[in-house]
């Protein structure tokens, strides 16, 4: 009987030949004789024509790698699902193909898996801004990078709801939540294949919604060391205003209903309000941005009317409507 790996690293990708090489280099450097049999790497290529698959085929003798090519582009989140369907590991770590691993990241996660029986491992990360979306190995410059969370101590928790304090974007980046494969499989039941991308929480951050609904009272572990170096040049950047103004606040509401500390969530809300609301909400109301049709100013007002900057947002909206 062949033992299944403890951890599968799933990498959905589309036309990211250069950044895939950066990511794969960061994996190859961390593969050892001791952890080789514990790992599996699955890549689901979403109908690229830039040499991604050809490059990956040169690595199959170096790491436990499986490569799958879609006959058509199925979309971003469906490609996540296809990658995870092919995983054999007890846990799955879903990685963006424009991000890469920090040193010793993989072994740190394996060590936690071997020591603790937890439903979710949450990790910290480093953000950096590459000069382009498809950067090469020799173009990496982390001079202006920064660590996402100032919570840098590892901790085990009996209830995952107690990890909400660690970051404002809690559970939303795909690379920060390592879960049992059985959880990941259920994540995609929240995704509506008939609805547009980012039309709801389930069609934008289904993994965060699943965690908020089902795992808040399950045991978890937080790794304070930044394990992932992630690009700030996100592929879904056009949806950022809607994410910050509606998707993330809606997720917070669900977290509170499922046991998250309301004071912690209110602190997160205040932080995102300051960074996003005055800048984007008026344009969302005036239908000038993607997903404007899904934005509810009524829901936004219920959440933020007590904030001092709310009146400023309201004045801008009224001024625009009177033009």
Residue 191 and residue 88 in contact, taking contact as beta carbons nearer than 8 Å: no
Assess if residue 14 is contained within a domain: yes
DSSP string covering 204-226, please? T-HHHHHHHHHTTTS-EEEEEEE
Identify whether residues 217 and 156 lie together within a single domain.
yes
Identify whether residues 209 and 281 lie together within a single domain.
no
Identify whether residues 178 and 256 lie together within a single domain.
no
Assess if residue 268 is contained within a domain: yes
Identify whether residues 88 and 223 lie together within a single domain.
yes
CA of 75: how far to CAs of 7, 25, 78, 81, 82, in Å?
25, 26, 6, 10, 11
CA of 229: how far to CAs of 32, 81, 97, 101, 105, in Å?
21, 23, 11, 6, 10
Domain of residue 305, residue span: 236-323
- The predicted-structure confidence for 166-209, as pLDDT tens digits, reads as follows 999 999 999 999 999 999 999 999 999 999 999 999 999 999 99
Assess if residue 127 is contained within a domain: yes
Residue 244 has what DSSP assignment? I
Tokens of 108: 């740190």
Identify whether residues 27 and 172 lie together within a single domain.
yes
Within 13 Å, how many C-alpha atoms sit on residue 100's CB side?
Answer: 24
- Only one residue has tokens 């990211």, namely 16
Q: Per-residue pLDDT for 86 more than 80?
A: yes
Identify whether residues 17 and 105 lie together within a single domain.
yes
Assess if residue 284 is contained within a domain: yes
Alpha helix (H) residue ranges in 143-219? 181-187, 206-214
Assess if residue 1 is contained within a domain: no
- Across all residues in the chain, what is the average pLDDT? 94
Q: What predicted TM-score, i.e. pTM, was given to this entire model? A: 0.96
Identify whether residues 73 and 107 lie together within a single domain.
yes
Gap between the Cα atoms of 33 and 135, Å rounded: 30
Q: Which of 175, 208, 235 is a domain's end point?
A: 235
Identify whether residues 269 and 168 lie together within a single domain.
no
Q: What is the CATH number of the domain that holds 135?
A: 3.90.550.10
Q: Which of 235, 262, 297 is a domain's end point?
A: 235
Q: Per-residue pLDDT for 214 more than 70?
A: yes
Assess if residue 2 is contained within a domain: no
Identify whether residues 172 and 252 lie together within a single domain.
no
- The predicted-structure confidence for 20-30, as pLDDT tens digits, reads as follows 999 999 999 99
Residue 66 and residue 56 in contact, taking contact as beta carbons nearer than 8 Å: no
- Number of structural domains, the chain? 2
What's the pLDDT band for 2 if we cut at 50, 70, 90? low
Identify whether residues 231 and 244 lie together within a single domain.
no
Q: Which of 197, 213, 235 is a domain's end point?
A: 235
Once rounded to an integer, what is the mean pLDDT over residues 39-53? 98
Residue 238 and residue 281 in contact, taking contact as beta carbons nearer than 8 Å: no
Gap between the Cα atoms of 298 and 286, Å rounded: 14
Identify whether residues 243 and 108 lie together within a single domain.
no
Assess if residue 122 is contained within a domain: yes
Identify whether residues 183 and 215 lie together within a single domain.
yes
């Amino acid at each position: 009987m062949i033992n299944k790996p403890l951890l599968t690293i799933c990498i959905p990708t589309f036309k990211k030949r250069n950044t895939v090489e950066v990511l794969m280099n960061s994996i190859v450097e961390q593969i050892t004789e001791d952890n080789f049999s514990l790992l599996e790497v699955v890549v689901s290529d979403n109908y690229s024509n830039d040499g991604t698959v050809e490059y990956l085929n040169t690595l199959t003798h170096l790491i436990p790698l499986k490569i799958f090519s879609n006959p058509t582009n199925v979309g971003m989140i469906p490609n996540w699902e296809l990658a995870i369907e092919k995983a054999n590991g007890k846990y799955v770590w879903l990685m963006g193909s424009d991000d890469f691993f920090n040193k010793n990241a993989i072994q740190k996660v394996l060590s936690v898996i071997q020591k603790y029986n937890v439903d979710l491992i949450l990790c910290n990360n480093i953000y950096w801004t590459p000069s382009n979306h498809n950067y090469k190995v020799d173009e990496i410059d982390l001079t202006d990078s920064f660590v996402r969370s100032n919570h840098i101590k590892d901790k085990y928790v009996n209830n995952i709801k107690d990890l909400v304090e660690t970051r404002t974007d809690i559970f939303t980046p795909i690379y920060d939540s390592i879960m049992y494969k059985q959880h990941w499989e259920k994540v995609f039941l929240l995704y509506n294949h008939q609805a547009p991308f980012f039309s709801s929480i389930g069609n934008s951050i289904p993994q965060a919604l699943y965690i908020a609904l089902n795992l808040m009272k399950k045991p978890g572990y937080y790794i304070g060391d930044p394990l992932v170096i992630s690009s700030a040049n996100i592929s879904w950047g056009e949806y950022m205003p809607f994410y910050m103004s509606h998707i993330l606040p809606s997720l917070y509401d669900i977290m509170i209903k499922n046991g998250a500390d309301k004071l912690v969530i209110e602190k997160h809300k205040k932080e995102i309000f300051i960074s996003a609301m005055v800048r984007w909400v008026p344009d969302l109301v005036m239908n000038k941005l993607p997903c404007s049709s899904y934005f509810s100013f009524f829901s936004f007002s219920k959440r933020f009317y007590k904030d001092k900057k709310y009146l400023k947002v309201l004045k801008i909206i009224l001024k625009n409507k009177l033009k």
